[in-house]
A and B are shown apart, each in its own frame.
Chain A
Amino acid sequence: MTSLATVAAQGADLVAPAAPDGVFSLVWLLIALPLAGAAILLVVGRRADRWGHLLGTLMPVASFIIALVMFAQLLGRPDEQRSVVQHLYDWMVVGTFRIPIAFQLDQLSMTFVLLITGVGSLIHIYSIGYMRGDPGRVRFFGELNLFVAAMLLLVLADNYLLLYFGWEGVGLASYLLIGFWFAKPVAAVAGNKAFVMNRVGDMGMSIAVMLLFVTFGAVGFGDVFAAVPQADETTLTWIGLALLFGACAKSAQFPLQAWLLDAMEGPTPVSALIHAATMVTAGVYLVARSNPIFDAAPAAATAVVVVGAITLLMGAIIGCAKDDIKKSLAGSTMSQIGYMVLAAGLGPVGYAFALFHLLTHGFFKATLFLGAGSVMHGMRDEVDMRRYGALRTVMMLTFVGFGAAYLAILGIPPFSGFFSKDKIIEAAFSQGIVIGLVTLVGAGITAFYMTRMIIMTFFGKARWDDDQHPHESPPVMTVPILVLALASTVGGIALAWNSSIESWLAPVVGFSEPHLAIPNWGLSLITLVVVLVGAFLGWAQYGRAPVPVTAPRGAWPTRAARADLYGDALNESLFMRPGQWLTRVLVFVENRLVDGLVNGTAATIGGISGRTRRWQTGFVRSYALSMLGGVVLVGATFLLVRL
């Protein structure tokens, strides 16, 4: 690392990046630490059983501490000096085309680095408890470290190609971790599915990178964004759509969303870190990072909004339908990322809020997943919520954490979701009434399924088997949950205070205040009402449903009378029926169309392959014949060209 001091002479950027002096000469270390952890753990393997998890946890924690120091330093600087580029070496020089290995630390990447290392560290700590006794624990920590390194590379890259490496890296790590329990066939299949869908998206990414190269002759963020104003809008639209396609796969957005539900076969800390807090938000990062491109290509930005809106509703409805607690949460993740993608597609009014929601979502969704993991840990890996119930009594700490995150995702003030989601709804309404309504309805459905989840899990009657002995998890698991729950509680207000998040991010992604026809507090009030209605319906449906089965036969007319106007009947006709129907349609679309498309493509290729290989008959004379056919083919192309 002798070339550390080399300073990148970057092209024109919006803000000319500063030299990596002081602590910023350590940017590479942020990535190198977890990478070293991964290398050591994966090479040493089972021999590190006694200390592997500690080393694996130490690495992201160390990165987090470095990141905190850097953050403090950045805060002390004026806006225009907050972007630092560290140039390590020129990776490739082909003619005038130069690809450096260089890291860019600015407000946007700093935010992500803090989220990744912070939440990542907590989840590593939690995993010490969660994976205790698993024979593959060292491998698990190694792969988790690999993920953290790749994700940091993704957000710290200063050009699209390096970002693409990180992009592939997180995909690989995610794939390995989903299939972690590969002895389970479901897990292996799920890993495969994630891989297939992500490859499809990666094709979009690689086409985007190639288009960028052809259009701008460069892939560095600075060079590309400086040249965007001169580019043709059609080209930019195509680039934007290709980027969006890549983002859709990684962030589980329509139409490439199906893998996320299956990805829940992985260990729960993985679901929390990769499939909730960080990796799946990479698509949002990509759109936000590429903001000059999307700002200059309104059609692509509209596509982003549409994708976000569809996924937002789709994910929420799927969340209502699943009994598996993790799958329900996965649907919720899709939906919440739909919010972010939608916000990011809105342009400068939305970027900052998309990222704000990304942060708060990182907190509360990680809390929810870790809480779910804690429940599963105490319930011998039972995931069916219909077999939970009344767990608040035995798992008090988990319940408290889960509850705080529940209030946060609903957007109850002063919990964090209130600040971030409200801002997105405001931004959406400022851009159009339809998308505004979509976000509002989405908030209502969110309240419904989350209420359903928390009631089925923690309230009501215990529905678990007699030989289940649910118990609270050890402190090494509950403490991270509570820390994250605290972040979910106060994170929103801390970041929203004095519009600090907007002004922090504005130099990178731009910002303009959304303008509404009605005062902001009015919309907040409407949102709150919608959320409360959703929560009430959830309670009405599930909180009161398990009527005591011991009730005497003669009492059922009384019960019928008690089934009031707002009760099951209304739910049934107004909400549940269409809901069930919609769910069924969605499940159908998901199983037949999307899966069908993916599996169908695979099957088709396999079929073609099976048929094509029959040409290889083994007869040498038929090979000679096909060579002669080749002669004819070559002759034909020559003739065609000449004609």
Chain B
Amino acid sequence: MSALLAADLAPFPVPSIEYSAISPLIAIFGAAVLGVLVEALLPRTARRPVQLVLTFGALAVAFGLVIWQRDTRATVLEGAVTIDGPTLFLQGTIIALAFVAALVMAERRVDVAGDDFAPRASALPGSDYERDLTRLGWLQTEVWPLLLFSIGGMVLFPASGDLLTMFIALEVLSLPLYLLTGMARRRRLLSQEASLKYFVLGAFSSALFLYGVALLYGFAGTVSLSGIAEALTDDAQQYGLVLGGTALVAIGLLFKIGASPFHQWTPDVYQGAPTSVTGFMAACTKVAAFGALLKVLFVALGGVRWDWAPMLWVIAVLTMVVGSIVAITQTDMKRMLAYSAVAQAGFVLVGVVAASPDGMAGTLVYLVAYGFASVGAFAVVTLVRDATGEATHLSQWAGLGKRSPLVAGVFALFLLAFAGIPLTSGFIGKFAVFTAGVASGAVALVVIAVVASAIAAFFYIRVILLMFFHDPAPDGPAVVVPSSMTTIAIAVTVAVTIVVGVIPQPLLALISDAGVFVR
């Protein structure tokens, strides 16, 4: 043992760090650390504006840096991070979605009491202390560094070049989310419960993921993705370790994606979390997790494709069917959207199962389409309110189309996009993954997907019907006029949903230029 240490330690290599390639990560994490300092050093009143400037500034800068780095194809940080076309595309998507979602989180006009977050998460729900804080108009500003850390983890997630980095990124993106989930201003009990459930299950799935990493390490002697791929080409032994490792790593990622049967946290957490956080989670986590899944499966585990493709086939079917069917009988808007997110994850998996460059391109298209529609839909949910906060029961949405045709129309647009109606972005996504699926021979899967999307169309259309074809209840909720923050967020998501639906070519060209992952 000591000889081994001496041999390895003697010429300790100085790692070369390509700062330009990881500059988006530096921007986000740097701002997050600064944000923590701001919390510690600045007076309460000054914190919010500074945090907002930091957050949006960092995201804008990071987006610019991603664009600046658009032609980088490199393995950096001694193999810990790989930057390539799809990775940059995913990073750009995550940052853009996070920016829009953060706009919704920054909204403080829709809720009379302040923003979407509890003034102090530790205050007992319903206590005098909490009431006092609310009356004083205190706002929680720690959410911003948390948000930035989470975004940083997401941006790192698909860029990881080895499984250790991926595990760290997974934790860095998850831990702040567990906390953000528990910080809703209204319905504190639900929020706390969601936080606990998310945490327990998330930690459980991380442990499964980590054991998978250990098994793959045992097989390959390295955790680098390209190293595992190499080991797969020349080593035909020890498939037990490979398969076990593949299964557990995939499960860890499928959990984040919200694929059935690992989806059960989704409805509870989406319902309990502050709605603006739900929008952020639904869009960004899913994009990041799919990016990581693609990377692991294509870069490291391409050699056992014939083992994981059937597994994903089964999971995809289960996810689509469970998501679409259970969503039908939901009565809570956020919960219904959560199940819809599960179903959508199943549709994206069709593109992954295709295991082809077309399938990957389709997956990316779908993620963009779904991500923006999702942020937009949850942003609309924050606007429909009654005296007790958001009115999320479906019956409360009846007749919304008569009271506020614009808001109801926008929401209907997002639902149509989820349903995959032509000339919305959702159609392009479905079309891209389904054709890729058919082209790779997964015809049965695509037929199931078409049937599932027909079932899913029911509950989307049902909501549209409810909004436009029913009379509003006399004491129903009202639509609050938001500040420019939410307005901009909704306008951007609407624009993306329509533009990608009508003129998808630029996006498709961008994705096909991005090419494939480098090793």
Contacts and interface: CB of A to CB of B under 8 A. Distances in A.
Is chain B in direct contact with chain A in the complex (CB below 8 A)?
yes
Nearest to A165: B422
A574 interface: no
B422 A168 contact: yes
A470 interface: no
Given A168-B422, A210-B438, A641-B307, A605 B325 contact: yes
B425 interface: no
A552 interface: no
A179 B469 contact: yes
B455 A605 contact: yes
B428 A92 contact: yes
Contacts of B428: 92
Contacts of B325: 605, 608-609, 612
Contacts of A191: 469
B315 interface: yes
Contacts of B205: 627
Given A610-B329, A627-B205, A634 B251 contact: yes
A620 B200 CA distance: 8
Contacts of B423: 165
Given A203-B454, A206-B450, A638 B307 contact: yes
Interface stretch (B224-232, B257-265, B293-301): B257-265
Contact of B329 (A188, A613, A620): A613
A210 B201 contact: no
A641 B310 contact: yes
A91 B504 contact: yes
Nearest to B435: A213
Contacts of A255: none
A616 interface: yes
Contacts of A183: 471
B265 A623 contact: yes
A328 B504 CA distance: 46
B314 A606 contact: no
A501 interface: no
Contacts of A45: 405
Task: Pick the most buried of A605, A606, A627, A631: most chain B CB atoms within 10 A of its CB.
Answer: A627
Task: Pick the most buried of A164, A615, A635, A638: most chain B CB atoms within 10 A of its CB.
Answer: A638
B439 to A, nearest CB: 7
Given A210-B446, A610-B329, A637-B311, A631 B208 contact: yes
B450 A203 contact: yes
A623 B264 contact: yes
A641 B261 contact: no
Task: Give the interface residue-count category, chain A.
Answer: 35 or more
Contact of A94 (B201, B260, B308, B435): B435
B65 interface: no
A92 B358 CA distance: 14
Contacts of B250: 634
Contacts of B262: 626-627, 630
Interface in B423-473: 423, 428, 431-432, 434-435, 438-439, 443, 446-447, 450-451, 454-455, 457-458, 461, 465, 468-471
B404 to A, nearest CB: 12
A565 interface: no
B264 A609 contact: no
Interface string A71-99: 00000000000000000011111110100
B451 to A, nearest CB: 7
Nearest to A635: B247
A23 interface: no
Task: Pick the most buried of A183, A200, A206, A615: most chain B CB atoms within 10 A of its CB.
Answer: A206
Contacts of B432: 94
DSSP majority for the A interface?
helix
Nearest to B260: A630
Interface string A99-113: 000000000000000
A613 B323 CA distance: 10
B248 interface: yes
A548 to B, nearest CB: 48
A94 B307 contact: no
B251 A203 contact: no
B461 A623 contact: no
Contacts of A200: 454
A633 B314 contact: yes
B450 A207 contact: yes
B197 A609 contact: no
B283 interface: no
B311 A638 contact: yes
B201 A623 contact: yes
Contacts of A164: 422
B329 A641 contact: no
A626 B326 contact: no
A91 B311 contact: no
B134 interface: no
Contacts of A192: 465
Contact of A627 (B204, B421, B443): B204
A363 interface: no
B243 interface: yes
A210 B435 contact: yes
B268 A618 contact: yes
Interface in B255-278: 255, 260-262, 264-265, 267-268
Contacts of A199: 454, 457-458
A95 B362 CA distance: 12
B508 interface: yes
Contact of B264 (A90, A97, A626): A626
B505 A633 contact: no
A140 interface: no
Contact of A606 (B246, B247, B329): B329
Interface string A594-623: 000000001001101110110110101011
A92 B504 contact: yes
A513 B508 CA distance: 49
B222 interface: no
B25 to A, nearest CB: 30
B358 A95 contact: yes
A642 interface: yes
Contact of A631 (B248, B443, B512): B248
B265 to A, nearest CB: 6
Task: Pick the most buried of B248, B260, B325: most chain A CB atoms within 10 A of its CB.
Answer: B325
A630 to B, nearest CB: 4
Interface string A138-181: 00000000000000000000000000110011001000000100
B248 A93 contact: no
B398 to A, nearest CB: 12
A195 interface: yes
Interface string A31-47: 00000000000000100
B264 A616 contact: yes
A634 B504 contact: no
B516 interface: no
B48 to A, nearest CB: 34
A202 B328 CA distance: 20
Interface string A179-217: 100110000100110010001101100110010011000
16 contacts: A89-B503, A91-B505, A164-B422, A168-B422, A188-B465, A202-B454, A210-B446, A210-B450, A214-B439, A620-B197, A627-B201, A627-B255, A627-B264, A630-B315, A633-B314, A638-B243
Q: Lowest 5 A-B CB distances belong to which pairs?
A: A182-B469, A630-B261, A623-B264, A637-B311, A165-B422
Given A93-B508, A627-B262, A641-B310, 7 more contacts: A168-B422, A210-B450, A213-B438, A626-B264, A627-B205, A630-B261, A638-B247
